[in-house]
Amino acid sequence: MRRSICRSQEHGIARRQFLGTIGTGTVAYGLGLFATPSVASHLRSDQKRIVVINLHGGVSQLETWDPKPGTDTGGPFRAIPTSVPGIHICELLPKTAQQMQHLCLARGVNTSEDDHGKGAYMMLTGRRQNPASDFPQLGAVAAKTLTLEDSSLPGHILITPGGGGGRGNEAAYLGPKFSSVQLGNGNPPQNTTRPESLTDASDQSRQDVRRFVNERFLDRRRTAVTEAFTYSYEQAQQLMRQRDVFDVSKEPASDVERYGTHDFGRHCLLARRLLEQGISFVQLSHSNYDTHNENFNFHIEQLGEFDRSFSCFVSDLADRGMLDSTLIVVLSEFGRTPNINQYYGRDHWSRAWSVCLGGARIPRGTVYGKTNANGTAVEDGEVDHGKLFHTYLQAVGVDSHGSFNVGGRDMPIADPSAAPIDALLT
Domains and CATH numbers, the chain: 17-424 (3.40.720)
Residue 159 CA to residue 156 CA, distance in Å, equals 10
How far apart are the C-alpha atoms of 280 and 156, rounded to whole Å?
Answer: 7
Question: C-alpha distances in angstroms, 373 versus 69, 77, 109?
Answer: 10, 16, 16
Distance between CA 26 and CA 232 in Å, rounded? 10
Spans of the chain, pLDDT less than 70: 1-45, 150, 164-165, 185-192, 194, 222-239
| CA distances from residue 27 to 93, 105, 239, 244, 410 in whole angstroms, order as listed | 42, 42, 10, 16, 33
Q: For residue 37, which phi and psi values (nearest 5 degrees)?
A: -85, 170
DSSP reduced 3-state for 109: strand
Note the pLDDT of residue 14.
37
Q: What is d(CA 240, CA 154) in angstroms, rounded to the nearest whole number?
A: 12
pLDDT reported for residue 38: 34
Measured from the Cβ of residue 414, the count of other Cβ atoms closer than 10 Å reads 29
pTM of the predicted structure, to 2 decimals: 0.85
